[in-house]
Amino acid sequence: MSQMLLSASTVLVAVLTGVVALIIGLALGIAIYILIQKKKLGDAKQSANKITEAAYAEAKEIRAQAKNQQKESILETKEEIQKLKAEFDQELKDRRNEVQRSEQRISQREDALGKKEDVLDKKLEAVEKTKATLAEKESQIDAKKAEIDTAHERMLSEIEKVSQLTREEAKAQLLHEIEEEARRDAVGLVREIEAEAKDEAEKKARTIIATAVQRCAVDHSAEITVSVVNLPNDEMKGRIIGREGRNIRALENATGVDLIIDDTPEAVVLSGFDPVRREIARITLEKLIADGRIHPARIEEIVEKTRKELDAQIKETGENATFEAGVFGLHGDLVKLLGRLKYRTSYGQNVLKHSLEVSYLAGLMAAELGADVKLAKRAGLLHDIGKAVDHEVEGTHITIGADLAKKYKESKEVIHCIAAHHNDIEPQSIEAVLVQCADAISGARPGARRESLDNYVKRLEKLEEIANGFDGVEKSFAIQAGREVRIIVKPEVVSDSATVFMAKDIAKKIESEMEYPGQIKVNVIRETRSIDYAK
């Protein structure tokens, strides 16, 4: 029991010792903390005092600087005011001097003006005296002029008496002589110029055309559309007509072509303005004759089949033509229209062959002259494209062709060449002129075209009629198949110099009143024969 009490008291002593130690430690910690805080507070007060002192010192320094700057600005302002005052005084002094100088100049000018007025008065007096002298001399001149006019009139009357001519007659005679002399000189000059121009132009033209025609290696044979179908026998005519004419009516309705069956042995004539329709009718009729089955249903079937075949051939022909001419990029419809020209003729000349020939010639001449070869060939190929549909559309083939080219987006240059190739409008480019020339060469070469006898005779008569309509013409003769007209003039009426002008006037009238291929030579002949007899 005592041991337990002893141990309890020991524990209690230990606990009390620990508590006392803890209290002592806390007291020491608090004391140390208080000392530290007091030290920090003292340091802070010292820092605050230092900062306050520094601020006071800086404020004093700033105040001193501000006072110095204020003094400096006051000094600068005073200096500026003094400077401005000095400038103002100087400017005022200068202006006063200028005013004084101006007053002096004005006074001097007034003195000078006074002197000038005196001089002017003297000059006015001199002018008045001169005017009086001039008036006196003018009256003397008028008197002398009147005397001269009187003498001139007397002289003219004497001249009229001597020459037995009035003044107007003498003037007219003099003008006539001057005009004749000028005309003779002009004729001589014209002849010289024409001779030189012809020499050069003919050489160059011969070279270009000869080169172009020589290199134009195409087949020139003129194809003529056949409108007659041969029959194996005359019995076939009855089968073509059919019972009560139903076969021939079906064929005419399907093709749009008239069939003429007359007394011509073993032949049927096809008549129609559309060459393509006429070709369809010809092929259809030949197929029906070869097949032997001729009735309305069969006719319609063969016509439709032939039309498709011919459309394909037309397209292929147009493509071959563009390839042959070297012209590419044409619209498909223009290519088909070119193919249709294969079945179109003009004066017996196949239009597609003619168009290809014009394209070749225009391109070759353009190459010789340094012009646009592609444009010339393209315009030459398309220049007669309007003839493919001129039986369906109103207007000339020129207008139709230009409209078609415009419709299918051809260039303005090509459209102009088409519109100008017959001089409906004035050609504005060298390519348009070349297409004109190529068209004339292709149509005018021997064998290219045929002309009806009536038109041929009328052309010759018209040539002679135009020539005979001029004064002084004795006789005229159209020769060389209408390519030359020879005119015999009266030598006592027409002079040598006048023949030159007559030839030009006749040529211009032929150009304005006639249409003809190629060119016509106008040859005016004046012959004087002097006859005498020895007795």
Give one DSSP letter per residue of 348-359, joined into a string.
TEEHHHHHHHHH
Per-residue pLDDT of the chain (535 residues; tens, 9 = 90+): 566 666 767 777 777 787 788 888 787 878 788 888 777 777 777 877 788 788 777 777 887 787 778 778 778 888 888 888 888 888 888 888 888 888 888 878 777 777 777 777 777 888 888 888 888 888 888 888 888 888 777 777 777 666 666 767 777 777 777 777 777 777 767 777 777 776 676 666 666 665 555 554 444 333 444 467 877 777 787 888 888 888 888 888 888 888 888 777 778 888 877 888 888 888 888 888 888 888 888 888 888 888 888 888 888 988 998 998 888 888 888 898 898 888 887 776 788 888 999 999 999 889 888 889 999 999 999 998 988 888 788 888 889 999 999 999 899 999 999 999 888 888 888 899 899 888 888 776 555 555 555 677 788 888 899 989 898 898 899 887 778 899 999 888 888 888 888 888 899 998 888 877 667 889 999 887 777 778 7
CATH number, residue 488? 3.30.70.1350
CATH number, residue 396? 1.10.3210
Distance set, CA 280 to CA 49, 242, 300, 320, 321 (Å): 129, 20, 12, 21, 21
Count CB neighbours of 425 within 10 A: 13
- Calculate ∠ Cα 517-520-525, nearest 5°: 170
432 within some domain = yes
Distance set, CA 329 to CA 319, 338, 354, 355, 402 (Å): 11, 14, 21, 17, 18
317/325 Cα distance (integer angstroms) = 12
Amino acid 222: pLDDT: 35
Closest CA to 376 of 390, 393, 394, 358: 358
Q: Are strands 484-489 and 473-479 parallel, antiparallel or unpaired?
A: antiparallel
Amino acid 240: pLDDT: 81
**Angle between helix 373-382 and 351-369 (nearest 10):** 160
Domain endpoint, select from 421, 444, 467 = 444
Domain endpoint, select from 410, 444, 478 = 444
Question: Do both 294 and 415 map to the same domain?
Answer: yes
Question: Do both 435 and 508 map to the same domain?
Answer: no
Task: Determine which helix (DSSP H) or strand (DSSP E) holds 282, and give its type and residue range.
Answer: helix 275-291
Question: Do both 414 and 461 map to the same domain?
Answer: no
Question: Do both 284 and 431 map to the same domain?
Answer: yes
Closest CA to 413 of 399, 402, 424, 400: 402
List the alpha helices (DSSP H) in 341-396: 351-369, 373-382
Question: Do both 486 and 418 map to the same domain?
Answer: no
Question: Do both 416 and 459 map to the same domain?
Answer: no
309 within some domain = yes
Q: Work out the widest C-alpha separation in the chain, in whole angstroms.
A: 221
382/417 Cα distance (integer angstroms) = 9
518 within some domain = yes
144 within some domain = no
Distance set, CA 468 to CA 150, 243, 364, 451 (Å): 54, 62, 41, 25
Report helix, strand or coil for 251.
helix
385/333 Cα distance (integer angstroms) = 11
Question: Do both 303 and 328 map to the same domain?
Answer: yes
Note every long-range contact of 305-308, with CB atoms under 8 Å and residues 24 or more positions apart, other chains counting.
306/280, 307/280
163 within some domain = no
461/477 Cα distance (integer angstroms) = 9
Question: Do both 417 and 475 map to the same domain?
Answer: no
256 within some domain = yes
**Angle between helix 412-420 and 430-444 (nearest 10):** 40
Amino acid 3: pLDDT: 64
198 within some domain = no
Number of domains observed in the structure of the chain: 2
476 within some domain = yes
Amino acid 417: pLDDT: 92
Amino acid 258: pLDDT: 83
Closest CA to 403 of 414, 524, 274, 27: 414
Count CB neighbours of 294 within 10 A: 20
Can you give the residue range of the structural domain that contains 517?
A: 453-535
Question: Do both 437 and 517 map to the same domain?
Answer: no
Question: Do both 294 and 421 map to the same domain?
Answer: yes
State the DSSP code for 342.
G
Domain endpoint, select from 380, 412, 444 = 444
Question: Do both 360 and 266 map to the same domain?
Answer: yes
Question: Do both 334 and 415 map to the same domain?
Answer: yes
CB 357 within 8 A of CB 442: yes
Amino acid 201: pLDDT: 67
